[in-house]
Amino acid sequence: MSDRHTTKRSAPTKGKTDWARVDALTEPRIDEAARADPDALPTDAAFWRDAKLVMPERKVPVSLRIDRDVVDWFKSHGRGYQSRINAVLRSYMNARKKAG
């Protein structure tokens, strides 16, 4: 069997979450922390009444030749490198649209 089409993946990296501390949290402490977080205020039916579900456009798979150092740089910043490349291209596109 040929190794030519075999993809080798490294072991997943260990995250920074202290799971022992998370597991030790009680429901009242979790509720208290949530109430203290201004970005985690509870919502009710009135909040969602006029909400509209907006599905993102499907992305189009493409084959693109990019210099290795460029890809390596984006990858070096962690997961989501393709999304970051897309964001840079979108920013460039929007700037060119504004320029005329």
Q: Is residue 83 part of a domain?
A: yes
Tally the C-alpha atoms within 13 A of residue 40's C-alpha that lie toward its C-beta.
8
Type of residue at 64: L
34-45 burial, b for 16+ CB within 10 Å, e for fewer? eeeeeeeeeeee
Phi, psi for 37 (deg, rounded to 5): -90, 115
What pLDDT was estimated at residue 48? Answer: 92
Q: Is residue 11 part of a domain?
A: no
**What's the pLDDT band for 5 if we cut at 50, 70, 90?**
low
Type of residue at 34: A
Domain range for residue 93?
Answer: 19-47+62-99
Contact 74, 68 (CB under 8 A): no
Per-residue pLDDT tens for 45-94? 999 999 999 998 999 999 999 999 999 999 999 999 999 999 999 999 99
Q: Is residue 2 part of a domain?
A: no
**What's the pLDDT band for 38 if we cut at 50, 70, 90?**
confident
* Count of the separate structural domains present in the chain: 1
Assess whether pLDDT exceeds 70 at residue 1: no
